[in-house]
């Protein structure tokens, strides 16, 4: 039994399950808006399982593809995919199982969800290889998480309204912006190993500027989402709070690069949850 518990812990560390906090709030935000309130326990469970299995697939494939890179990077050399705790076969089985689970959940939700499930997995998996040939890898990661709101609204109403695309654009630039900040940790390693990233190509100052620009676009798109979806004062408050939190995130990173983990995980985690809570308040109290 202890052996199985240990393996579960290793897989949890592999995909950093707790970081599902980045995608879950926005899939539920889309579901709440699409349903104009509570969307039911069945879709709550299906939405959570779909988000987690999709993220497990993407992170597992990324760790599988990056075994050589992670082994050479001092920051990542102790990850389970390179230190001997999880072999390549086990990781690939984990990836395939999660892909199957995601497709099966999509099948149980509706036809449109099923038709989109494989293309979504393709997009999620493509990020793992983009960094090897394109500086657009940050955008691809943003698109991967930005699909969450569209998946949420498809689950509820089997369509893709304009407001869900605008919400997704906000998520895309939000994720791409904080991934740029996170990539600053590996700027020297990426240069030495010919890996493609905006920090390694353009330097720290340009990266900070582009990240700020991306986050400004996020706030603009989220404000447009609130307006187009016809939401109320609490939803606009969520946008304002998000702008403040993103500004604080950049202040932390600009002051001290060693605080990147704090900015990446803590601030962004709270941002998604806060946005979600304010949307709930908007629907309950409006």
CA distance 10 to 15: 9
Residue with tokens 């987690």: 52
CA distance 120 to 207: 28
> Radius of gyration (Cα) for the chain, nearest Å?
19
**Where is pLDDT greater, at 133 or 107?**
107
Domain that holds residue 223: 2-285
Single pTM value for the model: 0.91
CA distance 239 to 251: 18
Closest CA to 165 of 180, 148, 178, 184: 148
Domain count, the chain: 1
CA distance 283 to 246: 24
Confidence of residue 204 (pLDDT cuts 50, 70, 90): confident
CA dihedral 221, 222, 225, 226 (to 10 degrees): -140
pLDDT of res. 198? 87
The chain-wide mean pLDDT, for the chain, equals: 87
Confidence of residue 22 (pLDDT cuts 50, 70, 90): low
**Residue 114: count of CB within 10 angstroms of its CB:** 15
Provide the 3-class DSSP secondary structure of residue 247.
helix
Look up the CATH number of the domain holding residue 35.
1.10.357.140
pLDDT of res. 263? 63
């Amino acid at each position: 039994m202890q052996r199985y518990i240990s393996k579960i812990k290793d897989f949890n560390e592999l995909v950093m399950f707790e970081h599902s906090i980045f995608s879950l709030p926005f899939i539920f935000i889309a579901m709440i808006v699409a349903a104009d309130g509570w969307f039911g326990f069945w879709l709550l469970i299906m939405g959570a399982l779909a988000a987690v299995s999709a993220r497990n697939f993407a992170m597992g494939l990324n760790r599988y593809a990056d075994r050589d890179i992670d082994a050479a990077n001092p920051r990542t050399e102790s990850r389970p995919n390179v230190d001997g705790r999880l072999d390549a076969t086990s990781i690939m089985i984990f990836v395939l199982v999660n892909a199957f689970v995601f497709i099966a959940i999509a099948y149980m939700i509706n036809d449109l969800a099923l038709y989109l499930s494989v293309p979504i997995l393709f997009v999620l998996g493509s990020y793992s290889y983009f960094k090897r040939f394109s500086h657009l890898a940050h955008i691809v990661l943003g698109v991967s998480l930005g699909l969450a709101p569209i998946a949420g609204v498809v689950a509820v109403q089997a369509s893709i309204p304009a407001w869900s695309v605008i919400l997704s654009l906000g998520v895309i630039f939000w994720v791409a912006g904080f991934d740029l900040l996170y990539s600053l940790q590996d700027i020297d390693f990426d240069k030495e190993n010919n890996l493609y990233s905006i920090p390694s190509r353009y330097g720290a100052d340009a990266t900070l500027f582009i990240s700020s620009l991306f986050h400004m676009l996020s706030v603009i798109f989220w404000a447009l989402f609130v307006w187009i979806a016809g939401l109320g004062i609490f939803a606009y408050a969520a946008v304002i709070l998000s702008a403040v939190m993103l500004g604080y995130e950049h202040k932390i990173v600009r002051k001290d690069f060693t605080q990147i983990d704090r900015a990446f995980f803590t601030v962004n985690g709270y941002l998604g949850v806060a946005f979600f809570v304010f949307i709930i308040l908007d629907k309950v109290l409006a």
